[in-house]
Structure 1
Amino acid sequence: MGSPGVINIRDVSKKYVVKDKPLEVLRGIGLTIHPGEFISVVGTSGCGKSTLLRLLVGLDADYEGDILVGGARVEGTSLDRGIVFQEHRLFPWLTIEQNVALGLESSAWTHAEKTRAVDEHLELVGLSGFKRAYPHQLSGGMAQRAAIARGLVNRPGILLLDEPFGALDALTRAKLQQELQRIWQEEQITMILVTHDVEEAVFLGDRVVVLEPRPGRIKRVVPVSAPRPRSRTDHEIKALVDEVRGYLLEA
């Protein structure tokens, strides 16, 4: 698919009702995201990071303000917007190939086109040799690769990532961060990552959006101009990690 266009988040607020009382989760979020950007969103637990992703993907329409993609208001889910969760959510009775193909269930492509797309994206994430395997035969990192392939297989213009590496060990996490950076550069799509890991946010993002504690509001947007491919030991990266951590620690 082609680029879905600019994402405009305009004065978005969100409340839930908890025990018959309103709980404000997001307040006055405003942000413009350009096609092909990698945006990282960080904040403390409960600040509304994942709620914002739910609104962006179209899973929740009960909010104030507007979310526009290419000038059109988000109304429900769309093939233009893929999502990857912290848990891979692969179906255990399906092979990896079949799980990835689920991302094309609503596609109008021919069988041959779908087969080719699945093969291409399994190759993209380094799982070509495991297409006939089942989820229980894969490591956690490999299962997340399959989930990323499923999120990308229909070639969405936007991929939303909700702490996709949060359950992985540190070494696997670092490797998949490198892979995600490579995939983003190859696919040239917009990616929006929600994470509690400041280093991950800075390492991957073009900009880091720092949310204040609940109700989530944008405290600061930090640009990351370090050239790619990036190194965690780069002085600029380390300095920005410290800067973002400082914003999160401020009262």
Structure 2
Amino acid sequence: MSGSGFLSLHGVHKRFPLKDGELHVLEDISLDIRQGEFVSIVGGSGCGKSTLLRLLVGLEEASGGSLRLDGTPIHGTDPARGIVFQDHRLYPWLTVEDNVLLALANSPLDKAERLARVHAHLELVGLRHFAKAWPAQLSGGMSQRVAIARGLVNRPKVLLLDEPFGALDALTRAQLQDELARIWLTEGITTVLVTHDVDEAVLLGDRVVVMEPRPGRIRRIIPVDLPHPRRRDHPRLAELRSDILQDFTRRQAVA
């Protein structure tokens, strides 16, 4: 890889110390992501995909290699990199409005500008009328919409999503996948989604990065050659899903 992408990873390694050695979690990860691209990272448990996202967020430091966003090395957290976790992590003692507003705590905007931006992003996720609601009054899907609004309110260069719909029922998950696709098309923000759901990966991603475990590394990268928005029943998505799933069934057969 040339390391010339908007979001660039080159030769990234991650190891954790153990009492009697080291645990190799990621090995030689190289990936260039274009500005405005939606990339899905898929893999089974233990392949290091969530660790990779933590490196991109800045919650962990790589043991080797380089990570850059728009040419700048990634070290520590930064508002330029928004994150949404599987657990929405809303503060129950704050209203929806205040939970999103919290992400602007260090913003140079004045109070009126901050509120205007919060309301614009609640509108974006379809929750304009729930600004004064408490998290306990929301469904799981609505809570994740708030988390997405909070991840976007700083207008980051990259939105990082770690299994954001994994805890939701199938119907709510499908609805939020459609919402995420709409928001991505509206905002044009570079997006990286980590998921174990192959259907989700091919439905949303411009490319799907397939990872394999022990240590985690990229097995292959598959372009999804379909325009957005996409139909779930498109035959090409079924073909890609079947192709990717064969990677996992072949590995299980060898193991």
Q: What is the TM-score of this pair, normalised by structure 2?
A: 0.95
Give the drift of 1:62.
Answer: 4.2
Instruction: State the partner residue of 2:165.
Output: 165
Task: Give the letter aligned to residue 58 of structure 2.
Answer: G
Show the 5 A alignment for 1:97-116. 97-116=97-116
**What is the rounded CA distance, in whole Å, between the counterparts of 1:17 and 1:37 in structure 2?**
34
* Deviating more after overlay: 17-26 vs 239-248: 17-26
Establish whether residue 27 from structure 1 lines up as the match of residue 27 from structure 2: yes
Say which SS state the counterpart of residue 233 (structure 2) adopts: coil
For residues 185-244 of structure 1, the C-alpha deviation after alignment (integer angstroms, 9 at most, x for no partner) is 111110000000000000000000000112111001000011211111101111111111
Give the drift of 1:111.
Answer: 1.1
**What is the rounded CA distance, in whole Å, between the counterparts of 2:19 and 2:171 in structure 1?**
41
Give the drift of 1:36.
Answer: 0.3
Contact persistence 2:67–2:74 (CA under 8 A): yes
Q: Which runs of 5+ in 2 are unaligned?
A: none
Instruction: State the partner residue of 2:52.
Output: 52
Instruction: State the partner residue of 2:152.
Output: 152
Instruction: State the partner residue of 2:218.
Output: 218
Show the 5 A alignment for 1:1-251. 6-251=6-251
* Deviating more after overlay: 182-191 vs 57-66: 57-66
Give the drift of 1:18.
Answer: 3.2
Number of equivalenced pairs: 247
Q: Report runs of 4+ in structure 1 exceeding 4 Å deviation.
A: none
Say which SS state the counterpart of residue 246 (structure 2) adopts: helix
Identity of aligned residues (%): 58
**What is the rounded CA distance, in whole Å, between the counterparts of 1:139 and 1:20 in structure 2?**
45
Cα RMSD, aligned residues only = 1.0
Q: Summarize the Cα distance change of 1:62–1:13 in structure 2 as closer, same or farther, 3 Å threshold.
A: closer
Task: Give the letter aligned to residue 228 of structure 2.
Answer: R
**What is the rounded CA distance, in whole Å, between the counterparts of 2:250 and 2:109 in structure 1?**
50
Give the drift of 1:112.
Answer: 1.3
**What is the rounded CA distance, in whole Å, between the counterparts of 2:63 and 2:161 in structure 1?**
21
Contact persistence 2:13–2:62 (CA under 8 A): no
Contact persistence 2:12–2:62 (CA under 8 A): no
Task: Give the letter aligned to residue 28 of structure 1.
Answer: D
For residues 139-195 of structure 1, the C-alpha deviation after alignment (integer angstroms, 9 at most, x for no partner) is 000000000000000110100000000000000000000000000011111000000
Contact persistence 2:57–2:77 (CA under 8 A): yes
Contact persistence 2:94–2:134 (CA under 8 A): yes
